[in-house]
Amino acid sequence: MTDRNQTKESPEKKAAGLYAASLVKDGDAVGLGTGSTVAYTIKELGRRVREENLNIVGVVTSYQSEMIAIEAGVPLTSLAETPKLDIAIDGADQFDSNLFAIKGGGAAHTREKIVSMSADRFVVVSDPGKKSEILTVAVPIEVMPFGRELVTKSLKDLGGEPVLRAAAKKDGPVITDNGNFVIDCTFGEIKTPQELAAKISQIPGVVEHGIFMNVDEVVIGKTDGTIEII
């Protein structure tokens, strides 16, 4: 995992994160995403468990979220034990009005996709800056180290500009919680996310890409503490 721990308060992220925590009901099995926005949700769920006797179990998407959840006191389980989740809550790097999203800024998108696809309802929490008419940010692609060269060439053949993600503050690549590399690939304006997603998935060595097509709703937090839902 990269170091994406929440370092400074963000009222927008907090508003979205806290609202999403209020969507969780007693008895729910909850997918817990990764990143600074959903960290607010996880901490608030911990508070509800402690102070409101909320009875839930969480499934984490990264070691980072696991640490936050344990510290907050959210009881955890696994998909092996609880394969069907009631709700999953997670952040995103960018989303459009069709609710296509790009995720994986924290290199956790493979587990995030598995967890969100295991849930009846997938809620994304965001600040206003991530909404875009069209998806443009680089697509994170988790890659088996053995397949790195082939994946890089194949992404270039698709018109992309792939860059191996480097670890912050040290030499070498980011290593995911699954022991793989991440390639961030820019494609300019992504006009047909489903088509691009299908093409990337076909490349041998690709573990998972960060284009998400299963978002049910996005909660956007505002600086004044209000939220907008799309």
Q: Which residues sit at the interface with ligand 5RP, rule CB under 6 A?
A: 4, 33-37, 90-93, 103-109, 112
Written as six digits, the tokens of 57 are: 């179990």
Q: Which is nearer to ligand 5RP, 104 or 193 (CB)?
A: 104
- The three-point CA angle 49-10-75 to 5° equals 20
Written as six digits, the tokens of 135 are: 């998806």
Q: Is 93 annotated as a binding residue?
A: yes
Count Cβ atoms within 10 A of the Cβ of residue 83 and give its class: 0-12 exposed, 13-18 middle, 19 or more buried.
exposed
Q: How far apart are CA 60 and CA 168, in angstroms?
A: 23
Question: What's the closest the beta carbon of residue 158 comes to ligand 5RP, in angstroms?
Answer: 22
The set of residues, in sequence order, having a beta carbon less than 8 Å from that of 196 and lying 6+ positions away, is 139, 158, 187, 190, 211
Whether the Cβ atoms of residue 28 and residue 82 lie closer than 8 Å to each other: no
Written as six digits, the tokens of 90 are: 């997670």
Closest CA to 105 of 86, 122, 126, 84: 126
Question: What's the closest the beta carbon of residue 86 comes to ligand 5RP, in angstroms?
Answer: 20
Q: Which is nearer to ligand 5RP, 64 or 152 (CB)?
A: 64
Question: What's the closest the beta carbon of residue 100 comes to ligand 5RP, in angstroms?
Answer: 14
Q: Is 37 annotated as a binding residue?
A: yes
Q: Is 35 annotated as a binding residue?
A: yes
**Active-site choice (12, 44, 112, 142):** 112
Q: Which is nearer to ligand 5RP, 46 or 204 (CB)?
A: 46
Q: Is 205 annotated as a binding residue?
A: no
Question: What's the closest the beta carbon of residue 10 comes to ligand 5RP, in angstroms?
Answer: 9
Q: Which is nearer to ligand 5RP, 14 or 48 (CB)?
A: 14
Q: Which is nearer to ligand 5RP, 155 or 211 (CB)?
A: 211
Q: Is 8 annotated as a binding residue?
A: no
Specify whether 142 is catalytic: no
Q: Is 34 annotated as a binding residue?
A: yes
Binding site per annotation, positions for substrate: 34-37, 90-93, 103-106, 130
Please list the active-site residues. Answer: 112
